[in-house]
Amino acid sequence: MIVQLALKAAPKIVHAGWKVLVPLGVGTAAALGVEAKGIVDTAQGRKSRQDAMKRLSEALADCEALRVKTERIAREYGELQIRVHKETVGRLADRLERNEHLVKRLNFKKVDGVRIRIPNIPKYAATLRASALGSAG
């Protein structure tokens, strides 16, 4: 609609006076200035977007590297926990077997008013070892 109006007015513009041409020229210049600013802003926006995408990719790469490092440390810690558990349970089983004769003396006796019943030591030690091996797998 504005274009049609401008096309109709174009042949008659020659006869217009300075009171019409000066504001029209100023408006045209302002429109061209705004258009130029829009083009510059668009270019700056694209550059800003590219910079932001670059920073995002760098941050994602850093995050991935940290995730891999954290998983490796967690896996090492888990393996350490399993090894320590196996060794601790193994030492307990060995100690029970070494001191079986002392443990049997406690069987069905009261210690500080509490009746102690000791299970079958070899069977108990085998169960402890089996549970230690099962936790490693």
For the chain, how many structural domains are there in total?
1
Answer whether residue 112 is part of any domain: yes
Answer whether residue 17 is part of any domain: no
Mean pLDDT of 101-112: 62
Among residues 75, 77, 98, 90, the alpha carbon closest in space to that of 126 is found at: 90
Confidence of residue 14 (pLDDT cuts 50, 70, 90): low
Answer whether residue 14 is part of any domain: no
Confidence of residue 91 (pLDDT cuts 50, 70, 90): confident
Answer whether residue 105 is part of any domain: yes
Mean pLDDT of 51-70: 96
Contact at 8 Å (CB) between 86 and 132? yes
Answer whether residue 25 is part of any domain: no
**Averaged confidence pLDDT in the chain:** 78
DSSP string covering 86-119, please? HHHHHHHHHHHHHTHHHHHHHTTEEETTEEE---
State pTM to two decimals: 0.47
Q: Is the dihedral of CA 4, 6, 10, 13 positive or negative?
A: positive
d(CA 14, CA 64): 68
d(CA 106, CA 97): 14
Among residues 42, 22, 24, the alpha carbon closest in space to that of 34 is found at: 42
Domain that holds residue 74: 33-136
Answer whether residue 28 is part of any domain: no
Query: Which among 21-30, 38-47, 85-94 has the top mean pLDDT?
Result: 38-47
Q: Which residue has the higher pLDDT, 12 or 135?
A: 12
Answer whether residue 22 is part of any domain: no
DSSP string covering 41-56, please? HHHHHHHHHHHHHHHH
Answer whether residue 10 is part of any domain: no
Angle, CA 40 vertex, CA 34 and CA 43 arms, to 5°: 140
